[in-house]
A and B are shown apart, each in its own frame.
Chain A
Amino acid sequence: MAERSIIDQLDDAVSALLAKPAVEWPVEDPVVASLVGVAEELRGLPREDFRAQLRSAFAERDTMSTPKMKVDRIPQNFPAVSARLVFDDASAAIEFYKQAFGAEEIMRLTERSGKIGHAEIRIADSVIMLSDEYPEHGAVSPKTLGGSPLKMHLYVDDVDQLAERAVAAGASIVRPIADQFYGDRSGQISDPFGYTWIIASHKEEVSQEEMQRRLWAWEEKQPQEKDPQKHGRPEGFHSVTPYITVQQPGELIDFLTKAFGAEEKFRTTGSAGGMHAEVKIGDSMVMVGGAPHIPAMPTAIHLYVPDVDDTYRRALDAGATSLMEPADQPYGERSGGVEDLAGNRWYIATPFVPLTEIAKDLRTVTVYFHPIGAQRFIDFLTNAFGASELMRHEGNEMIMHAKVQIGDSVIELGEARFPSQPLPTAIYLFVDDVDARYEQALKAGGISMQPPTDQDYGDRNAWIKDPFDNVWYIAAPKAVQ
């Protein structure tokens, strides 16, 4: 018999001791022998639940027999109202809040499985109660619900420092820290568990009248900046417009017209000497441009149509090649795919539910990115353009599919899984403030191709290339600059 390790030898002896206490198990190793001695003494170790039950039996009797006994009806150091948050991983949440907000753990009650039934943490002078999920008792986390209607508000001395600390611990910035009209410097962050925190430092005493005045003043400024019609964003355009660059743009427009019923709205000669055209497909605008001397940038598009089979057939008739015949997909749509003559990929789909039920701003033409490093790409969009992730589906430890909101548009993406896929593309992106977005995009890792410039076609725009080789034309009509 191979010699057993002392750890196994000890367990052999302990097992024998627990099974047959009267029979002495031979132990030769002196270390093991000394530990078996301890184990013998441990036999009959009291059960924790027995000890706790007996204690609570005394406690109950005490409360009944001694009405004078002082139990604080509101426990000391507790405010009357506390949030009780539910997490998909409460233990990780406690760690995060320790790191991000300097929380202090007051207590935790765990099931034997390790699941946290109840825990309490203190952040500054406030208590937060928390637990893992118990769906059977209606306790579900934002991850399960796909969001949370509850926002937490946290006042600190130095909000900028806190934001930095929270981001280092894994939070992401939802709204950058800025001075607010009501006298706070504040912003919003999203923690890794789906809760949003408004973090703030109070900077200025503002009377309620003054706040009201500033709010109205701010409101008056809003419509001009927010309403695309008023600030002159061309009709029909939303934040994100694919700019499909091909060597034969005229040919592509023909194809789009035949296959997808595109309507040509505008055609001119572009700044690089090629064609620039704008077409409408369904409810979406698409820019088409290029010339034989300009390198093509084929694009992948998720094209939501009323009848996928019909559109697929028309696309093939118009000269496209099939990537995939239409079929019902487990993710809630019937879809097929084609590649046009210029190498653009069209994922044609008819979802089982109305588009707006999938996402409010989802439209006919939805750009589909295949970055290598999908998470980094989402981070870039978030940091550069203030994008926010709407949903993701993960598999094989990668992001198979995600939807991201940018301004009033939605883009989709999935980790590149085939050599043909990265397919970097070009996007015309309407923003409120070209210069600010440009700076932010550079900070987020973009490379400048052209700093903000007033163009004679009416826009001020700046061009950057992101770390995934996509080109972003960050633009706003000159009128609002």
Chain B
Amino acid sequence: MSQATESDERLLIEAAQKDPSRFAELYEQNFHRVYAYVARRVRDRAETQDLTAHVFQQALANLGKFKWRGTPFVAWLYRIASNAIADQARRKVREVNDQPNPVTEASAPTDIEQVERRALLFQAVETLPEDQRRVIVLRFAEEKSIREIAGELQRSEGAIKQLQFRGLENLRNRLSEN
């Protein structure tokens, strides 16, 4: 993170501490990274969404306690996420005793680089040309089949496959630019 954005972030946190309406900006800036972090640990989509929501709710509730010490805000969010995932895993273990020990898995060192890369990828989707973006979102976020997407967008299946190809190609190129 550059000096400029670091001090921007500090100002934003201080602003949000005084006026919670500014929290939405922190949320926008960090959403993809928190989501990617959680998604990496938790496979299930509903669970990923619950945990992501939980992380931001916790962050908002405890924002007043956050002290700026030069580490990025997202590191604090990752810690909240890590604790939340571990708590959830422990609860599950108590519920179902014969599962392998997920606590170990959840507390394993997280490969932050992978998470950041994935967050960048999620963000990059938003910069795709509109028709490619819609196909990628419907395919990977809504998990629809090519046929369903073709029906929804009133295009041929061949056209949808081609947009999927171009979209993935663009995303690959954008990732390699970063």
Contacts and interface: CB of A to CB of B under 8 A. Distances in A.
Interface of A: 6-8, 10-11, 14-15, 18, 21, 34-35, 37-39, 41-48, 50-51, 54-55, 57-59, 61-63, 65-66, 68-69, 112-114
Given A45-B136, A45-B140, A69 B19 contact: yes
A14 B139 contact: yes
Nearest to B137: A48
Interface in B138-172: 139-143, 145-146, 152-154, 158, 161-162, 164-165, 168-169, 171-172
Interface residues of B, number: 46
Contacts of B21: 59, 62-63, 66, 69
24 contacts: A7-B164, A10-B168, A11-B165, A14-B164, A18-B139, A34-B172, A35-B165, A38-B168, A39-B140, A42-B121, A45-B122, A45-B140, A46-B35, A46-B49, A46-B52, A46-B141, A47-B49, A47-B141, A57-B53, A62-B24, A68-B19, A69-B21, A113-B154, A114-B153
Contacts of B132: none
B27 A41 contact: no
B20 A38 contact: no
Interface string B14-52: 000001110110011001100100010001010011001
Given A7-B158, A10-B161, A66-B21, 13 more contacts: A38-B172, A41-B121, A42-B121, A42-B136, A48-B141, A51-B31, A54-B27, A54-B31, A54-B56, A58-B24, A58-B27, A65-B20, A114-B154
Interface string B114-143: 000110011001000000000011011111
B60 interface: yes
A54 B53 contact: yes
Q: Summarize B's interface: helix, strand, loop or mixed.
A: helix
A251 to B, nearest CB: 60
B175 interface: yes
B164 A10 contact: yes
Nearest to B134: A112
A380 B97 CA distance: 85
B19 to A, nearest CB: 6
Contacts of A11: 146, 161, 164-165
B137 A45 contact: yes
